[in-house]
Amino acid sequence: MTEAITTTTAGDDLEALRRETEAALAAATDLRAWDAVRVATLGRNGRLTALLKGLAQVPAEQRRERGAALNRLKAELEAAIEARRAELEQAALAARLRAERLDVTLPPRPTAPGTAQDGGIHPISRTVEELTAIFGAMGFAVAEGPDIESDWHNFGALNIPEHHPARQDHDTFYLPPGPDGRRPVLRTHTSPVQIRTMLTQEPPIRAIVPGRTYRADHDATHSPMFHQVEGLVIDRAITLGHLKGCLIDFLRAFFGIRDLPVRFRASYFPFTEPSMEVDIGWNRRTGELGKGEDWLEILGSGMVHPKVLANCGLDPRVWQGFAFGMGIERIAMLKQGMTDLRPFFESDVRWLRHYRADPLSPPSLAEGV
């Protein structure tokens, strides 16, 4: 390519240079070969550059015509060289894409346990999945609502009187008053979603309400923000027998203990009548569930209070129902043998790796949760 071209006429050497350069560009299969052609043609010591430098030795009467021909050839070769560069870059990109193609529908490759790439489901998220799977099999739907609630949805509609301790500032997070003069509240339970469900949905109703709740409390077993799940059933002729059967089946399925002892104790909640605390059998000394002669309180429940039904526009002479609620962190701690609530929110990678759940193994009632 760098050998001098001998010609007998003014145009032969230019035409030969054009043909040879185009042939060399066509033969270049990668950018390195392309660059060699570019330098041999347009570089400081390139063939076309040498012709332009030799223009001074051309007779004066031919110089103008020769210069115009050289400039035309230069423009044409520059365009051809640039076009070939674009073609080679596109071909290189296509080859790279073929070589690096990844099938995103394939499952991820297994990694060694505990490695940085080894992800997992947070215990709270997995517990919500298990709750949803169990109650979903019973015909419950998941209901959701806002974290910031009105005083009426959070307290008034639930038959909680003005003097109830839950309404005090030291127990509840209040926000600045709204246009009506009432202070909105960070919901202290997910019960307001039960109210919203009864106001917007015609019975029969079967709903569970998992979500965040907020209370001014913080220690080894309490957090200012924690998760609850509440359940609501509204239908005709609902009885305590339905409530007991539902909760016994749930607790035995969740903890995986077929004969888990379950006890119902009379209690008091403003929004249910009658109300009951639910206990499960455990061994106080060893902490083992289903063993020993001790009892551990785990959730609250009861028949929906007639005033709550009436507040939602339901005739308590026609419709009856039951409700229940429990802390998601609490039942997760019992199932996993945890003793402290605070690590749930501390983002300790070691703790998360220990208690994480496999993201590729969703809860299944057939296999046990």
**Binding site membership for Mg(2+): which residues?**
273
Rounded CA separation 153/147 (Å):
11
- H or E stretch covering 230: strand 225-235
Query: What are the φ and ψ backbone dihedral angles of 289, each rounded to 5 degrees?
Result: -80, 145
Helices (H), 139-239: 151-154, 191-200
Rounded CA separation 57/10 (Å):
13
Rounded CA separation 181/111 (Å):
57
Helix (H, G, I), strand (E, B) or coil at 352: helix
Annotated binding site: 273
Q: Which two tokens stand for residue 231?
A: 């359940």
> Sign of the CA dihedral 233, 238, 244, 245?
negative
Helix (H, G, I), strand (E, B) or coil at 314: coil
Rounded CA separation 128/362 (Å):
11
Contacts 24+ apart (CB under 8 A), 87-95: 88/28, 88/29, 88/30, 88/31, 88/34, 89/31, 92/30, 92/31
| 289 DSSP assignment | B
Query: What are the φ and ψ backbone dihedral angles of 306, each rounded to 5 degrees?
Result: -55, -35
Cis peptide before 274 (omega within 30 of 0): yes
Rounded CA separation 164/150 (Å):
16
Rounded CA separation 156/173 (Å):
16
Instruction: Identify the CA nearest to 309 among candidates 239, 233, 241.
Output: 233
CB–CB of 207/230 below 8 Å? Answer: no
